[in-house]
Amino acid sequence: MLIPLLVWLIVALLLALTGTLHKVPVSMPVVGVSLTAALLIVLALSAPVRQRALAGGPRPLVAFHLTRFVGFYFLWLSSLGVLARNFAVPAGWGDVIIAAWAVALLLMHDWSAREMRLAVLLWNAFGLFDILLVMALAARQASIDPGFRNGFASLPLSLLPTFIVPIVIASHVLLFVWLANRRA
């Protein structure tokens, strides 16, 4: 799974560095939704890909959410007046809370315990709700502010819709699959 993810990351970086994302005829939230849908379709239709994604267990899936400490960057950009407050504050704090909660989960040892599965289920549900809310806020902000679109078409923010958000959402779905398999 690591090689395809690295290739994806390199492509996302190249698209941003070459300015290609500024020429895309749709907003960055639409790009993020499209990439997320494509990833979820691949995971749904390809059992080997899904099995490889789940092979490491839940820890790597939860650990990827440490990227959500990007929320501090949102808050900082908002304090500078660079990122709209009505997006940055709820998106920033939501991401920071979910990332901090992920740290707490990663410090736990017995992932097979019933209480741990419940903790993962609660974190996963809140985390998925939060990232979907962030996407909705981003779509709304992109529809009213052309500058918002430009910011998310440039590095480093462009990595969110083109790489991080699709993987975050897919990891939530995969964690629900992992939890369902533990119940069976």
Tens-place pLDDT, residues 127-149: 999 999 999 999 999 999 888 88
pLDDT at 111: 82
18 located within any domain: no
Domain count, the chain: 1
Per-residue pLDDT, averaged over 17-39, amounts to 93
**What CA–CA distance (Å, rounded) separates 105 from 24?**
38
15 located within any domain: no
User: Please, which pLDDT band fits residue 151 given cuts at 50, 70 and 90?
Assistant: confident
104 located within any domain: yes
10 located within any domain: no
Token code pair at residue 112: 């097979």
CB hemisphere CA count around 58 (13 angstroms): 26
Query: 38-44 — which CB contacts under 8 Å span 24+ positions?
Result: 38/166, 39/166, 39/167, 39/169, 39/170, 40/169, 40/170, 40/173, 43/170, 43/173, 43/174
5 located within any domain: no
Q: Is the pTM of this model over 0.85?
A: yes
97 located within any domain: yes
pLDDT at 184: 59
**What CA–CA distance (Å, rounded) separates 122 from 70?**
21
pLDDT at 113: 87
Q: N- to C-terminal Cα distance for the chain? A: 26
8 located within any domain: no
Task: Identify the domain containing residue 68 by its residue range.
Answer: 28-183
11 located within any domain: no
Whether pLDDT at 9 is above 80: yes
pLDDT at 148: 85
